Structure 1
Amino acid sequence: MKKLIIPFLLLIALVVSGCGNNSTNKTNNTKNEENKSGTITYQSENGPVKVPANPKRVVVLSSFAGNVMALGVHLVGVDSWSKMNPRFADQLKDAQEVSDENLEKIIELNPDLIIALSTVKNVDKLKQIAPTVTFTYGKVDYLTQHLEIGKLLNKEKEAKEWVDDFKKRATEAGNDIKAKIGENSTVSVIENFNKQLYVYGDNWGRGTEILYQAMHLKMPDKVKETALKNGYYAISTEVLPQFAGDYVILSKSQNQDNSFQKTDTYKNLPAVKNHHVFEANMEEFYFNDPLTLDYQLDFFIKHFLGN
């Protein structure tokens, strides 16, 4: 009886293996057929979307312009925040500023792909113009987000290579910084915008992802208590001492009212007295795309380590 069972089991294994191979072959064949037809299917958070395998005219209505540019894909239209970033000026000089409310302008650009946040308006109308993929901010971490955009643009390999390299560089720099400033030193990220001060958690751009997620530097308890959940928290100058860490990354613009820096409250902060306030250009520091992250990492290495 055993002699009969063994060949029978082998036969089943061969059949199952063959089915598995057939399934894999079908998937590969589908991908090959799509690539030949010039499209791929991206599994978005809202379901599968057929998009160009090699997009040539991309419109970004959100903070993902740097992700697209880092992967060498041409942008024809971007949001106002990306357009006013000085570090993007050269690459975006020919791109038009667009918004989700100016559909006529987007139509004129004849895009073959539109990328936006899930909060964008007129999604259904945008989908009639070109394949449209939206992302919910913070649904995945900042590095996974770049990998997703890599998949969308059919450049997953390039995206993964950058992510792996960045994680290595950020970890090494973080170790060096902690060795210099001490494991228990705290770092705050503070921004002045429209006469209002804000402190930031660990996922709201301004270098927070690098400082807190990649380098694991410490956040002041008061910042952790108020800004970690929502990403940011508005504060007044009077309470600034409760939120300022041993080191402060101050995101500011010369076009804003920075008079708070002339107050005694600000001048008496330990970080100010110890020359531990590192000022960054607000317009350059907003995002968490690869181009901005590379710049932010260099900024931190230079200011913390003097390199």
Structure 2
Amino acid sequence: MKKILIPILLVFVLIISACSNQTTGKEKVSSAQEAQPETIVYESENGPIEVPAEPKRIVVLSAFISGNVMALDGNIVGVDSWSKMNPRYEQYIKDAVEVSEESLEKIIELEPDLIIAPSTANNIDKLKEIAPTVTYTYGKVDYLTQFLEVGKLMNKEKEAQTWIDDFKGRAQKSGEEIKEKIGADATISVIESFEKQLYVFGDNWGRGTEILYQEMKLKMPEKVKEMALKDGYYALSSEILPEYAGDYIIFSKDRDADNSFQETDTYKNIPAVKNNRVFEADSKEFYYNDPITLEYQLDFFRKSLLGN
């Protein structure tokens, strides 16, 4: 009888041991998950800075950065006035408080664990006393690298890179389709009205210019290339606008600006105007070059130039 019991006991001990090992393994996984770092070191343009690995309450004082944070599902509790005016951003920041670099007390009340500001902001040292503060200089890196940098800051570099790769592919494919339809040599201008001034843009100043000229490789008029390519934009009068008008015009239109130039013969006689090749967009939605705005711009260009 004892000979029979011994093997049975051995089997039972082995089963208990296996179950114990499985439990221990689960505990190790759980422990590893709990051991995720609370902070990371981000290599900012001013050197390394310790920031939350998963920021929960973010204050963004830079309109050219806020859309990047929104695209990565960042919880923005305080944001600049320009971002607040953008209808395209409304769903992401409807509960965010409007703040500026000067409203320090209001920012303190928001209890941020991360602050993002332009490098030109005032009170940066005081902001750093409230929460880790990272600054960016507009145009220091290209528009997609800027999004990737924000991805690194928010510990979401992989997600940012995935979107970048997909977007570039879609934009370039759309560019080939557009060139096939309008002609490879057709030119396109991007203009904007702001208060009483008109502007024309180069290839890196928002308003969809990065998509049209960098990704789609569409051509800008020689006059635009000469005057706006280096600085990114060029202010001009309505009288000389025909010199800068391409075969197609994207008009980033401020409805509150003085747009009376559109009623002049000078404007009406521009070939793009006469041929119904001017496409108007709301400038407040069209300014920037973050993923939320870029998706809108790409869709706008497809509908305007391809009809889909």
2:195 touches 2:257 (CA, 8 Å); kept in 1? yes
1:47 aligns with 2:47: yes
1:102, distance to aligned residue in structure 2 (A): 1.4
Which residue of structure 2 lines up, in the alignment, with residue 177 of structure 1? 178
Superposed, 1:117-266 pairs within 5 Å as 117-266=118-267
Q: Which amino acid aligns with 1:181?
A: I
TM-score (norm 1): 0.88
Superposed, 1:32-111 pairs within 5 Å as 36-62=36-62, 63-111=64-112
Residue-by-residue CA offset, 1:138-175 (whole Å, 9 max, x unaligned): 11110011010000000001000100000000000000
Size of the alignment, in residue pairs? 275
1:105, distance to aligned residue in structure 2 (A): 1.3
Q: Distance between the aligned counterparts of 1:79 and 1:212, measured in 2?
A: 29
Identity %: 70
1:135, distance to aligned residue in structure 2 (A): 1.1
Decide which structure has the larger Cα Rg and report it: 2
Superposed, 1:272-291 pairs within 5 Å as 272-291=273-292
Residue-by-residue CA offset, 1:51-79 (whole Å, 9 max, x unaligned): 00000111111121111111111000111
Tell me the secondary structure at the aligned position of residue 137 of structure 1: coil
Tell me the secondary structure at the aligned position of residue 213 of structure 2: helix
Residue-by-residue CA offset, 1:177-223 (whole Å, 9 max, x unaligned): 01111111111110000110000111111001100111111111111
Alpha-carbon RMSD across the aligned residues, in angstroms, is 1.3
1:36, distance to aligned residue in structure 2 (A): 3.6
1:37, distance to aligned residue in structure 2 (A): 4.2
Which residue of structure 2 lines up, in the alignment, with residue 268 of structure 1? 269
Query: Measured at CA, do residues 37 and 165 of structure 1 come closer, stay the same or move farther in structure 2, by a change above 3 Å?
Result: closer
Which residue of structure 2 lines up, in the alignment, with residue 8 of structure 1? none
Q: Which amino acid aligns with 1:160?
A: Q
Q: Which amino acid aligns with 1:139?
A: K
TM-score (norm 2): 0.87
1:88, distance to aligned residue in structure 2 (A): 1.0
Q: Distance between the aligned counterparts of 1:66 and 1:203, measured in 2?
A: 17
Q: Distance between the aligned counterparts of 1:254 and 1:292, measured in 2?
A: 19
Please, which runs of 5 or more residues in structure 2 have no aligned partner? Answer: 1-31
Q: Distance between the aligned counterparts of 1:302 and 1:36, measured in 2?
A: 45
Please, which runs of 5 or more residues in structure 1 have no aligned partner? Answer: 1-31
1:136, distance to aligned residue in structure 2 (A): 1.2
2:208 touches 2:297 (CA, 8 Å); kept in 1? yes
Q: Which amino acid aligns with 1:53?
A: A
